[in-house]
Amino acid sequence: MATLGPVGTDAHAEASRHFDRVLLADSFNAAMDLGFSKSIPVLVAAGFLQRDEHTVVDSWVDMHFRNFERTSLVATWESPTKPMCVAVNRARATAMELMDSIAIHPATAAFARRFAPRAAPCFVDAKPVAVKWAEEGRVDGCIGSLDVVKQGAKLDILHVWQPTMVWCLYKPHADSRTDSAGPNPEAATLQP
């Protein structure tokens, strides 16, 4: 099974609940390509959204339509994310209302608007990267997964919540395979 990394993403946690072997990629697009090349299932969050500093550049629906001839959607389900939090780098800010900048995954923008409305969002490709940016002092704070934030020492947790996410499991079509290593037994295990 392939999905979004690094270790610590909700995608990694969800995939690990359903599959013994999880390959992590730098993006959901890279995970989809990995799934095609290895002929293994791919787990994508319906909330997948990629943006640069100005606009949305990709989304789940774009990926879904772009790959409709190469893959089949074989399962969808809703499950809780890992607990999320707003955290601040105590050397840069002491409260949500004092943050000027916040690192976020684009899918968490609604939470940034709700909990830190005056902070300028800095978009990253995964919540663990947002936590890293806040730890490094590139931004005042972040929205990250609680377990990842707790691993560091420089961030103070200000608010915790746990929403749900819808997950989409894809199976590459047999003719989309580019890897010649032979059948993959993991590809047959598609039920979450």
Could you tell me the residue ranges of all domains in the chain?
2-80+164-188, 84-161
Give the mean model confidence (pLDDT) for residues 176-186: 42
Mean pLDDT of 91-119: 94
Q: Is the pTM of this model over 0.85?
A: no
pLDDT at residue number 175: 66
- The reported pLDDT for the residue numbered 144 is 97
84-161 topology per CATH: D-Maltodextrin-Binding Protein; domain 2 (3.40.190)
pLDDT value at 2 more than 50: yes
For residue 173, what are the contacts with CB-CB under 8 A and spacing of at least 6? 69, 70, 71, 72
> How many other C-beta atoms lie within 10 A of the C-beta of residue 172?
25
Q: Can you tell me the mean pLDDT for 97-114?
A: 95
- In this model, does residue 177 exceed pLDDT 90? no
Contact call for residues 87 and 140 (beta carbons, < 8 A): no
Same fold, 2-80+164-188 and 84-161: yes
Burial classification of residue 103, based on how many CB atoms lie within 10 Å of its CB (0-12 exposed, 13-18 middle, 19 or more buried): buried
The yes/no answer on whether domain 2-80+164-188 falls in CATH 3.30.200.20 is no
Cβ atoms of 152 and 131 closer than 8 Å: yes
Q: What is the pLDDT of residue 53?
A: 77
Greater confidence (178 vs 136) lies with: 136
pLDDT of residue 103: 97
- Reduced to 3 states (helix: H, G, I; strand: E, B; else coil), residue 146 is helix
Nearest Cα neighbor of 121 from 23, 52, 187 is: 52
Average pLDDT over residues 20-34: 94
Kindly state the average pLDDT of the residues 135-142.
Answer: 97
